[in-house]
Amino acid sequence: EAGVVQSPRYKIIEKKQPVAFWCNPISGHNTLYWYLQNLGQGPELLIRYENEEAVDDSQLPKDRFSAERLKGVDSTLKIQPAELGDSAVYLCASSLDSPTSGSSYNEQFFGPGTRLTVL
């Protein structure tokens, strides 16, 4: 079974330029997450989707960041314009959230991430 796919793996841009990251979750997974991982830190959630709906975007800096998940499958995270402080690794994860899961555990599977460098 293919894992979570992210592209590109690396991106170098100049500040004020736009950039977009793409994520393809594991087939059948209805929940998708974008995390931001700064150097030497643990990942922090940016946005969580359940199918097409963004159910938690409280940590997404909406002035420059946007995300979409069309048709409840692939997702794109965009930054416009990028700033120096946006240099980080952007991680995508997915999980299967069953409505009847109750007490069962829904593991999040992570992609390899996109390392963004803003010059």
Partner 1 sequence: GDSVTQMEGPVTLSEEAFLTINCTYTATGYPSLFWYVQYPGEGLQLLLKATKADDKGSNKGFEATYRKETTSFHLEKGSVQVSDSAVYFCALSRYFGNEKLTFGTGTRLTIIP
Which of 60, 91, 116, 118 forms a contact with partner 1 (CB under 8 A)?
Answer: 91
User: Which of 117, 57, 52 shows the shortest CA–CA distance to 87?
Assistant: 117
Query: Smallest distance from the beta carbon of 100 to partner 1, in angstroms?
Result: 12
Q: Is 103 in the site for partner 1 (CB under 8 A)?
A: yes
What does residue 67 show for φ and ψ, rounded to 5 degrees? -145, 155
Residue bearing tokens 């997404």: 60
Residue 3 exposure: Cα atoms within 13 Å on the Cβ side: 11
Q: Is 72 in the site for partner 1 (CB under 8 A)?
A: no
Which residues make up the interface to partner 1 (CB under 8 A)?
A: 3-4, 31, 33, 35, 40-45, 48, 56, 91, 93, 95, 97, 101, 103-108, 110-113
